[in-house]
Amino acid sequence: MGAEAGGAGGGGNPVAGKAVFARCANCHQLGPSARGGFGPQLNGIVGRKAGSTTDFHYSDALKNADFAWTEERLRAFIQSPNRTVPGNKMRFWGLGDPRQIDDLLAYLRTQR
């Protein structure tokens, strides 16, 4: 399953995505008690305006980004954060496996 197969709003395995999220959990939190720490909390990230949570100090690049996190934008950011939002301060090289990205997005869709 590639990026095309997953597409916006579909595809992916949320159970497998939870395992992929373990790589993100060092910096990002999810769930009722989630808050910003080393990275912003990710509850409801799909559809949220970039750089908009109040409990995290974003880079100027994300504070000034004029977009909402669509699944396609998240997919691009997860693949290559610095190419997608130059000047952001996320220290992650990216995830290259389209299936893992599909799974991660499926899991994130379950987190409101």
- 54 vs 46: CA distance, rounded Å: 17
Q: Which residue in 12, 69, 9, 80 sits closest to 41, CA to CA?
A: 69
Q: What is the pTM of this model?
A: 0.87
What per-residue string of b and e applies to 44-65 under the rule 16 or more CB within 10 Å gives b? ebbeeebbebeebebeebbeeb
Q: Are 85 and 69 in contact (CB under 8 A)?
A: no
Helix H or strand E segment including 102: helix 98-109
Question: What domains can you pick out in the chain, each with its CATH number?
Answer: 3-109 (1.10.760.10)
Distances (CA, A) of 66 to 49, 85, 112: 8, 11, 22
- 85 vs 74: CA distance, rounded Å: 11
Q: What does the pLDDT profile of the chain (112 residues) look like in tens digits?
A: 333 334 445 699 999 999 999 999 999 999 999 999 999 999 999 999 999 999 999 999 999 999 999 999 999 999 999 999 999 999 898 999 999 999 999 999 999 8
